[in-house]
Amino acid sequence: MQSSNAMSGQNVPIHPAFSSKDANAAILPLGIYVIAILAVLPLAGLIYQASGDSRDVWPHLISFVLPSSITTTLVLLAGVALGTFAIGATTAWLASRYRFPLSGVFQWALVLPIATPTYVAAYTWIEFSDYTGPLQQLVRNLGGYNSSTEYWFFELRSTGGAIFLLSVVLFPYVYLPARLSFQSLGTSMLDVARILGAGPVRLFLRVALPAARPAIAIGVILALMETLNDIGAVEYLGVRTLTFSVFDTWLNRSSLAGAAQLSLTLLLFVGVLIVLERRLRARQSFHEGRQSRQAIEKIQLKGPKAWLATLACALPVAFGFAIPLIEMAGSILRRPEQITHLALLQASANSLTVAIATALLCVVTGFVLAQARRHAAGSAIRAATLASGFGYAVPGTILAIGVLTAMTGIDNHVSRLAFWLTGHKTGLLLSGSLAIIVFACSVRFLAVALGNIEAGYARISPNLSAAARTLGRSGEQVVFQVELPLLFKTLSVAALLVIVETMKELSATMLLRPFNFDTLATFVYSHASRAMFEQAAFAALLIVLIGLVPVYLLTRVFITGQEQAEGQKKMRTRTVRS
Do 85 and 137 belong to one domain? yes
Inside any domain, residue 467: yes
Are both 300 and 370 inside the same structural domain? Answer: no
The model's pLDDT over 329-373, given as tens digits with 9 standing for 90+, comes to: 999 999 898 898 899 999 999 999 999 999 999 999 998 888 877
pLDDT at 20 > cutoff 50:
no
Q: Domain of 78?
A: 60-325
CA 181-444-81 angle, 5° bins: 40
* Distance from C-alpha of 271 to C-alpha of 276, rounded to nearest angstrom: 9
Residue 26 reports pLDDT greater than 90: no
Cβ within 8 Å of residue 177, ≥6 positions away: 212, 215, 216, 218, 219
Question: What pLDDT, on the 0 to 100 scale, is given for residue 218?
Answer: 85
Please name the helix (run of DSSP H) or strand (run of DSSP E) that holds residue 56, with its range, or none. none
Q: What is the mean pLDDT of residues 310-318?
A: 96
pLDDT the model gives residue 58: 83
Q: Does the structure show a pLDDT above 80 at 306?
A: yes
Question: Within this chain, do residues 302 and 400 fall inside the same structural domain, yes or no?
Answer: no
Provide the domain count of the chain: 2
CATH code, domain with 554: 1.10.3720.10
What is the DSSP secondary-structure string of 245-280? HHHHHHHTS--HHHHHHHHHHHHHHHHHHHHHHHHH
The rounded percent of the chain whose pLDDT value lies above 70 is 85
Residue 469 and residue 563 in one domain: yes
Residue 281 is predicted with a pLDDT of: 64
Least confident segment among 72-76, 85-89, 213-217 = 213-217
Specify the higher pLDDT residue, 428 or 198: 428
Kindly state whether residue 6 falls inside one of the protein's structural domains. no
Same domain for 38 and 66: no
- Going by C-alpha positions, the residue among 67, 104, 570 that lies closest to residue 309 is 104
Higher pLDDT, 496 or 192: 496
Q: Is residue 578 part of a domain?
A: no
Domain end, chosen from 325, 351, 373, is at 325
Task: Of 347, 519, 541, give the one whose Cα is nearest residue 440.
Answer: 519
Digit-coded pLDDT (tens) for 120-169:
999 999 999 988 888 888 888 888 888 878 888 888 999 999 999 999 99
Would you state the pLDDT for residue 423? 78
Confidence category of residue 445, pLDDT binned at 50, 70, 90: very high
Q: Is the pLDDT of residue 119 over 80?
A: yes
Q: How many CA atoms lie within 13 A of 354 on its CB side?
A: 36
Question: Could you tell me if residue 252 is inside a domain?
Answer: yes
d(CA 440, CA 531): 29
